[in-house]
Amino acid sequence: MNKLIIIKYGELTTKKGNIKLFIKTLKKNIEVALKDFEYKIEYDNGRMFIFGEELEKMESRLEKVFGIHEIVIGYEFDSIDIEDLKENLKDLIQNEKITAFKVRTKRSYKEYPLTSMEVSRILGGVVLKTIPESIVDVHDPKTFVDVEIRMNKSYIYLDGKSGLHGYPLGVQGKGLLMLSGGIDSPVAGYLAMKRGVRIEGIYFESPPHTSEAAKEKVKTLTQILSRYSGYIKLHVINFTEIQEAIYKNIPKEYLITIMRRMMYRITERIAHKNNAKIIVNGESIGQVASQTLTSMSVINAVTNMPVIRPVACLDKLEIIALAKKIETYETSILPFEDCCTIFVPEHPVINPDLSLCEEYEKLVDFETLLKDAIKNEEVVTIREDDKKFEDLL
Amino acid sequence: MIYLDYSATTPVSKEVLDSYIKVTRDYIGNPNSLHSLGMKSNELMKSATKQISEVLDIKTEEIVYTSGATEANNLAIIGYCLKNTRLGKNIVVSKLEHPSIYGICDYLKTQGFTVSYVENTKEGLIDFEDLSKKVTAETILVSIVGVNSELGIRQPLKTLRQIIKKQNENTVLHSDLTQAIGKVNVNLHDVDLASISGHKIYGPKGIGMLYKSEKIQIQPIIHGTEELRSGTPCLPLIIAFSKALRLAITNETKNESVVKLLNDKLTATIAKYPKIMINKTNYSIPHIFNLSLMNIKPETFIHALEKRDIYVGSNTACAKGEISSTIMAIYGDEKRANTSLRISLSHLTSFDDLNKFLYSFDIVYNKLLELGWENE
């Protein structure tokens, strides 16, 4: 008997054509997540099997890997004989608390003499006999007893833990996430990652108007997000000159619109440079003046790159619930000024006019400023296990 | 030099001192300042606190830095009692506490609190039955030392808390864990409040912490800001403490096994002196070895050893020259309580040092015994 982790794939099993790439990517991501452990990994088109010592600890790491439907700690047996299966199941469940249950049998070895139904029925009898308080309930079971029969191995396991679902990170290529430090953008990043998009971050700082603390906060948020990917590259753009130029030259009510247009321009160029195919951000329809539909279209007009807004249609409370789930909320609500909160006019335009924007932008040589900002970008790679001050602590 | 007074204080370990020096030199900003220097200090402090929370398996909000265990004891007991008077005005303490606990009790008596003293068994364990009786509807806090500083008796805190909660579920348990942390495995979830000191775990003096469960409320005893402990955080001490605590806890099992071997040797040798009483019960931890000389004044003995560059303790460094209350509480023998020596061991103690100590001990003992000083 071998104790092991069985991984059931998520949505990827429906993607017939790409399944090999999906599984390979998932395997690579799992290897990153389990880099601190000794283990052996085997897989086929239906399951992944992980053998090792510290299964429980590994399991908790796997809970942060996208593309996994379910993670189960189960047992592998060398015999597929029904009498052995009965014995093995009896041994395994002896100390379990089982009430309403259902046995599910999967037989990938089709020459097996019994049908799945027959195996389930026989093994259900074993459960009933071993645990007096158990009852069969095929409609609303509290416990699933899963049995899988392969050519020369069988597997038995009880309930597993739900995985993160989604696609393996990276199968969809890369996106550049605009991170502000607020509640929405980390959630947007998480949701994009869930669909298999590897994320790099871009953050606009405006010292001395924004503080070192605000930047640290964004780095902390990036580190929390990196739990799902191992590492995240963060591009820090010094936005001070552009922001001051806007403040000095542009009518107040258009400050935010033009500022966002500049940010989009920089983001698009950084994305191109880093092979990212999309821009991801935390805009939510109607939340602030720059997120009305008109504002969005005027701001979006500066780029042809797809801009994915995963939280666009969520209510604030729904976004907050997700932020709490991924543990970014507590950091996001730390009160530091960011680029979008300084120089905020009292009455920003909510229906900006595109041609006016274009006129205003001619007032300053923004192209030079944009190039300078991009040239001076600071790039940091933030890792999940980065420990600060390791030498001192 | 042979130092055998590790329960009084420990030398600061090299890597801890290195951190202390580096932080003092390089992190000059006040963690509360807005600028980047302050920010850097603040980040460092947060990382240290996070590390402590991980090492002790508690939350960062449950950590309050203090100047040491005595202040932590004050903040825990006085802070809790004054905040929760509506729940009752009685506290219960054991007879095996560090002197600072009794000092706190005396203060609380002036504030209208009553103090009950719970009995212990001959083995030094808290008497469960008596504890059930002493905890009443009026009792708001019980304070029981995790490991006693004189005889090293370790208490089953989890069981004690269950007994207390059964009598009165509002009563909280405080434990002074100064002598326990880094020596034996402790689970802070077995108590509601706990005091920890830096200088007993090869960290610097002047730093300690209070663990305060997030479920309970206390009030500050030092007033300033809205914090539980006002004052500019002493960053170098906090960093050094965090490192010392990490080292102490991660190496605990390994260090304990070394100390156990030393203690076995010590016990076997001292047992051969017919007139010496060994003060040790089944619940004593190996780091502390206590004996009563019976016919020799301990001060004289300590000074005689000192001449040979050997340093041991009397009952505790915090109650010099007084009769040992712990030995009285367990053995009820005044002569025994009056003539005790405490030899406290460390993983830093070598067998060679121990042999040299035993050699000197024999000479000094026989010489002083000949003088025939009679303990009054």
Bridge-based pairing of strands B208-212 and B63-66 is antiparallel
Q: Check: CATH 2.40.160.20 for A174-383?
A: no
Query: Across the interface, do B242 and A216 touch by the CB < 8 Å criterion?
Result: no
Residue B135 lies in a domain: yes
Buried b (16+ CB within 10 A) or exposed e, A263-285: bbbbbbbbbeeeebebbbbbbbe
Query: Across the interface, do A212 and B39 touch by the CB < 8 Å criterion?
Result: yes
pLDDT of res. B376: 43
Q: Can you tell me the distance from the alpha carbon of A87 to that of A129, in angstroms, rounded to the nearest whole number?
A: 12
pLDDT confidence tier of residue B375, bands split at 50, 70 and 90: very low
Residue B126 has pLDDT above 90, yes or no: yes
Q: Can you tell me the distance from the alpha carbon of A150 to that of A146, in angstroms, rounded to the nearest whole number?
A: 13
Q: For B9, which DSSP code? A: -
Q: Which residues pair with B208 in a beta bridge?
A: B66, B197
Query: Across the interface, do A388 and B22 touch by the CB < 8 Å criterion?
Result: no
Question: ipTM of the assembly?
Answer: 0.79
SS3 B40: helix
Q: How many structural domains comprise chain B? A: 2
Residue B291 lies in a domain: yes
pLDDT of res. A334: 84
Pick A216's closest partner by Cβ from B43, B242, B246.
Answer: B43
Is A124:A89 a contact under the CB 8 Å cutoff? no
Residue matched to tokens 């002196």: B273
Question: Chain A contact for B39, CB < 8 A?
Answer: yes
What are the backbone dihedrals phi and psi of residue B281, each rounded to the nearest 5 degrees, phi first?
-120, 180
Do B124 and B201 lie in one domain? The reply is yes
Question: Chain A contact for B277, CB < 8 A?
Answer: no
Q: Is B318 a known active-site residue?
A: yes
Boundary residue ending a domain (B202, B218, B250): B250
Is B87:B170 a contact under the CB 8 Å cutoff? yes
Q: Can you tell me the distance from the alpha carbon of A359 to that of A138, in angstroms, rounded to the nearest whole number?
A: 68
Residue B376 lies in a domain: no
Is B276:B294 a contact under the CB 8 Å cutoff? yes
Domain residue limits, chain A? 2-165, 174-383
Query: Across the interface, do A389 and B243 touch by the CB < 8 Å criterion?
Result: no
How many Å lie between the alpha carbon of A384 and the closest alpha carbon of chain B? 15
Nearest CA in chain B to A336: B34
Pick B243's closest partner by Cβ from A212, A387, A393.
Answer: A393
Question: Chain A contact for B47, CB < 8 A?
Answer: yes
Question: Chain B contact for A327, CB < 8 A?
Answer: no
Pick the CATH number of A2-165 from 3.40.50.1950, 3.90.1150.10, 3.30.2130.30, 3.90.650.10: 3.30.2130.30
Among A216, A389, A390, A391, the residue to mutate for chain B (most B Cβ within 10 A): A389
Residue matched to tokens 């393996």: A168
pLDDT confidence tier of residue B373, bands split at 50, 70 and 90: low
Contacts of B239 in chain A (CB under 8 A): 389, 392-393
Boundary residue ending a domain (B234, B250, B266): B250
Query: Across the interface, do B39 and A393 touch by the CB < 8 Å criterion?
Result: no
Boundary residue ending a domain (B199, B230, B250): B250
Residue B82 lies in a domain: yes
Question: Chain A contact for B36, CB < 8 A?
Answer: yes
Do B244 and B335 lie in one domain? The reply is no
In order along its 393 residues, chain A shows pLDDT tens digits of 889 999 998 776 566 677 888 999 999 999 999 998 999 999 988 889 999 999 989 999 999 999 999 999 999 999 999 999 999 999 999 888 899 999 999 998 889 999 999 999 999 999 999 999 999 999 999 999 999 998 889 999 998 889 999 999 999 899 999 999 999 999 999 999 999 999 999 999 999 888 888 998 999 999 999 999 999 999 999 999 999 999 999 999 999 999 999 999 999 999 999 999 999 999 999 888 889 999 999 999 999 999 999 999 999 999 999 999 999 999 999 888 776 777 777 788 889 999 999 999 999 999 999 999 999 999 999 998 887 788 899
Question: Chain A contact for B19, CB < 8 A?
Answer: yes
Contacts of B14 in chain A (CB under 8 A): none
pLDDT of res. A289: 81
Long-range contacts of A131-136 (CB under 8 A, 24+ apart): A131/A93, A131/A96, A131/A98, A133/A98, A133/A99, A134/A98, A134/A99, A134/A100, A134/A101, A135/A99, A135/A100, A135/A101, A136/A100, A136/A101, A136/A102
Pick A392's closest partner by Cβ from B23, B34, B36.
Answer: B23
Do B127 and B256 lie in one domain? The reply is no
Q: How far apart are the first and last CA of chain B?
A: 33
A-B contacts at Cβ under 8 angstroms? 34
Contacts of A216 in chain B (CB under 8 A): 39, 43
Do B259 and B217 lie in one domain? The reply is no
pLDDT of res. A32: 92
- For residue A264, give the nearest of A176, A159, A199 by alpha carbon: A176
Contacts of A389 in chain B (CB under 8 A): 43-44, 47-48, 239
SS3 B23: helix
How many Å lie between the alpha carbon of A212 and the closest alpha carbon of chain B? 6
Residue B207 lies in a domain: yes
Q: Can you tell me the distance from the alpha carbon of B64 to that of B42, in angstroms, rounded to the nearest whole number?
A: 15
Q: Which residue range forms the structural domain that includes residue B285?
A: 2-9+252-371
Question: Chain B contact for A334, CB < 8 A?
Answer: no
Choose the weakest-confidence range: B132-136, B294-298, B368-372. B368-372
Handedness of CA B27, B29, B30, B35 (dihedral sign): negative
Handedness of CA B20, B26, B29, B35 (dihedral sign): negative
Q: Can you tell me the distance from the alpha carbon of A57 to that of A178, in angstroms, rounded to the nearest whole number?
A: 33
Q: How many CB atoms lie within 10 A of CB B145?
A: 27
Contacts of B19 in chain A (CB under 8 A): 391-393
Do B192 and B78 lie in one domain? The reply is yes
Catalogue the E-assigned strands of chain A: 2-9, 39-43, 47-52, 68-77, 100-107, 135-136, 143-149, 154-157, 161-165, 174-178, 198-205, 231-238, 278-280, 307-308, 378-383
Q: pLDDT tens digit string along B37-82?
A: 898 899 899 999 999 999 999 999 999 999 999 999 999 999 999 9
Which residues between 213 and 252 in chain A have a beta carbon less than 8 angstroms from any beta carbon of chain B? 213, 216
Contacts of A387 in chain B (CB under 8 A): 47
Question: Chain B contact for A386, CB < 8 A?
Answer: no
Q: pLDDT tens digit string along B93-102?
A: 999 999 999 9
Query: Across the interface, do B47 and A388 touch by the CB < 8 Å criterion?
Result: yes
Q: Mean pLDDT score of chain B, rounded to an integer?
A: 94
Question: Chain A contact for B23, CB < 8 A?
Answer: yes
Do B239 and B271 lie in one domain? The reply is no
Residue matched to tokens 């850097």: B40
- CA gyration radius for chain B? 21
Do B217 and B264 lie in one domain? The reply is no
pLDDT of res. A13: 57
Handedness of CA B229, B231, B232, B238 (dihedral sign): negative
Span B227-241, mean pLDDT? 95
CATH no. for residue B301?
3.90.1150.10
Residue A195 burial by Cβ neighbours in a 10 Å radius (0-12, 13-18, 19+): middle
CATH no. for residue B199?
3.40.640.10
Q: pLDDT tens digit string along B266-301?
A: 999 999 999 999 999 999 999 999 999 998 989 999
Residue matched to tokens 């203090």: B66
How many Cα neighbours within 13 Å face the side chain of A69? 11
Query: Across the interface, do A392 and B43 touch by the CB < 8 Å criterion?
Result: no
Identity (one letter) of the amino acid at A297? S
Which residues between 205 and 234 in chain B have a beta carbon less than 8 angstroms from any beta carbon of chain A? none
Q: pLDDT tens digit string along B160-208?
A: 999 999 999 999 999 999 999 999 999 999 999 999 999 999 999 999 9
Residue B350 has pLDDT above 90, yes or no: yes
Is B10:B202 a contact under the CB 8 Å cutoff? yes
Do B229 and B264 lie in one domain? The reply is no
Q: Can you tell me the distance from the alpha carbon of B209 to that of B60, in angstroms, rounded to the nearest whole number?
A: 12
pLDDT of res. B165: 97
Residue B69 lies in a domain: yes
Do B337 and B199 lie in one domain? The reply is no
Q: Can you tell me the distance from the alpha carbon of B68 to that of B181, in angstroms, rounded to the nearest whole number?
A: 13
Question: Chain B contact for A208, CB < 8 A?
Answer: no
Do B158 and B201 lie in one domain? The reply is yes
Question: Chain A contact for B98, CB < 8 A?
Answer: no
Q: Can you tell me the distance from the alpha carbon of B126 to that of A271, in angstroms, rounded to the nearest whole number?
A: 68
Q: Can you tell me the distance from the alpha carbon of B376 to that of B295, in angstroms, rounded to the nearest whole number?
A: 10
Do B289 and B178 lie in one domain? The reply is no
Pick B242's closest partner by Cβ from A212, A216, A393.
Answer: A393
pLDDT confidence tier of residue B260, bands split at 50, 70 and 90: very high
Do B46 and B170 lie in one domain? The reply is yes
Both tokens of residue B61? 């909000």
- For residue B183, give the nearest of B248, B262, B125, B261 by alpha carbon: B248
